[in-house]
Structure 1
């Protein structure tokens, strides 16, 4: 395989129970069925890797091993509109740690590829009619969800869809 070969991967922070189920319900209600197969998460990297899968996975493991658990607090719904039809929950606490993980994951074998600058958040609804986005933003205006981040998850798209590969504990 040449160095130019590229493959897609994702590194995310999973949301633990019971918050995962609450967020899944909101995502289904406001974001529709398209959100169903994707568990609520905060993306750290969504992009590609060069060379081998093992080199990319080793980099993710190395970053996780050097990182300590931290707390995330999600706040009231906001929107990226008009730039992007997305309603999301912002990080009121934990954004700096997400930024640090994002930066540490970049380089070497991993790339972050997006039309938008990295902004840690949890998506509730995207690319749905404006009425659904409006409802999500209005109904979730008082949200406060706090949880401890103890691991990150690695996904690949080697078979053309997102596939869970590995849960990696933060250990520092």
Structure 2
């Protein structure tokens, strides 16, 4: 059971209820993490959703976005987000073996995406500046300056949800990952 209380999603008529209704309309249900964030910080959830809207209008593919989010979640040890982004990655078109390879730190077979995964994993595991070699490698793989901004935005929103889910110990409502 999650640590933070969540009101009844159907009867909440306040700011959180409005956010719940928007999410439910868009995706059919309200994931536990979104419910808990909205219950205590609807503006924070709106910011995350706005960032996702910006990402969806960008040039990074949905597969790349989900690969980024899965790598960050795996490195952070956020079991909720690993489960969520494994499913969302599958829905975006990543094959089960690709998802498993990402989680297990193995190559996926897509050279460009593997360069992205290596870059994001190094970012997630370090606290210093990106090395010239790492920067050159991600640029050589074909990622643009604008996509580096998008990578940064995907990274930031994922770190937020990872941290929140670790604080809340959010009950996983996505298929379990073996």
Asked whether the two chains share a fold, i.e. TM above 0.5, the reply is: no
- Give the TM-score, by structure 2 length: 0.29
In proportion to residue count, which structure has more strand?
1
The structure with the greater share of residues assigned to helix is 2
